[in-house]
């Protein structure tokens, strides 16, 4: 990654951090899931509204923490709106790293993947509730 590409990625991350997409609670969420990184203080709460076909019709988050964790959470909301629960489950951690820039996020893997992991936890919670 050259200096111009790196700066473009940094600008992209800062845009998501300073102006997070889909920020705020979904009042009628099907599932709400909290997640965090105790070591560094990052905290997120994801809200998923899932329709009867198992597709995410609305997704948002609230949280606080470092630039990488909050930008990553914002990106996750964009990645998964309109996707199925199966698509969420099948998403590898590398998908978020690619969007953030691997060189930039490589030293902050837990921060970068917090949003993805919390969303996957929400899907597991939802499936557990449906199975009980």
- The number of distinct structural domains making up the chain is 1
Quote the tokens at residue 86.
């199966």
| Side-by-side strand order, sheet with 31-37 | 31-37, 42-50, 56-64
The predicted-structure confidence for 90-124, as pLDDT tens digits, reads as follows 999 899 999 999 988 888 999 999 999 999 999 99
Q: Could you tell me the residue range of the domain that residue 114 belongs to? A: 3-131
CATH of the domain at 82: 3.90.1010.10
CA distance 68 to 40: 12
User: pTM for the full model?
Assistant: 0.93
The predicted-structure confidence for 47-79, as pLDDT tens digits, reads as follows 999 999 999 999 999 999 999 999 999 999 999
């Amino acid at each position: 990654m050259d200096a111009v590409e790196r700066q473009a990625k940094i600008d992209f991350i800062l845009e998501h951090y300073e102006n997070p997409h889909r920020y705020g609670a979904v009042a009628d969420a099907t599932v709400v899931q909290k997640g965090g990184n105790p070591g560094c203080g990052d905290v997120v709460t994801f809200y998923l509204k899932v329709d009867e076909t198992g597709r995410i019709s609305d997704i948002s988050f609230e949280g606080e923490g470092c630039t990488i964790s909050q930008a990553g959470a914002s990106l996750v909301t964009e990645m998964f709106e309109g996707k199925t629960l199966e698509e969420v489950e099948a998403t590898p951690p590398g998908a978020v790293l690619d969007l953030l820039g691997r060189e930039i996020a490589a030293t902050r893997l837990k921060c970068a993947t917090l949003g993805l992991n919390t969303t996957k936890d929400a899907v597991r919670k939802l499936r557990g509730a449906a199975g009980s």
